[in-house]
Amino acid sequence: MAVKQLNLPGQLARYFIESRLTLLLMLALLAFGLVGLAMTPREENPQIIVPAAEVNVSLPGASPLEVEHLLLSVLES
């Protein structure tokens, strides 16, 4: 039976499947991730500032449609 030549990704996959280095790399990545998780500062209730603005406009005696056409179209542009 002839052995099929593998392309570069296949050769790389075979190397990592057969190598003991893979286990060492995975354990090192897991350890670094756990250390990073443990060292990340956390707050129970963080104060997040969201930039926002609230604009109140009134036009007494006007219907909602009139307010939309007369005021909101001007304010939004």
Query: Which residues have CB under 8 Å from 6's CB, separation 6+?
Result: 14
Percent of the chain exceeding pLDDT 90 equals 36
pLDDT at 1: 54
The pLDDT, as a whole number, for residue 23 is 92
**Which two three-digit tokens encode residue 14?**
């075979």
8-31 tens-digit pLDDT: 999 999 998 999 899 999 999 999
How distant, in Å, are the alpha carbons of 1, 14, 21 from that of 10? 19, 6, 17
- The domain spans of the chain are 1-41
- Contact (CB, 8 A) for 14 and 6: yes
Three-class SS of residue 28? helix
Give the pLDDT of residue 51. Answer: 93
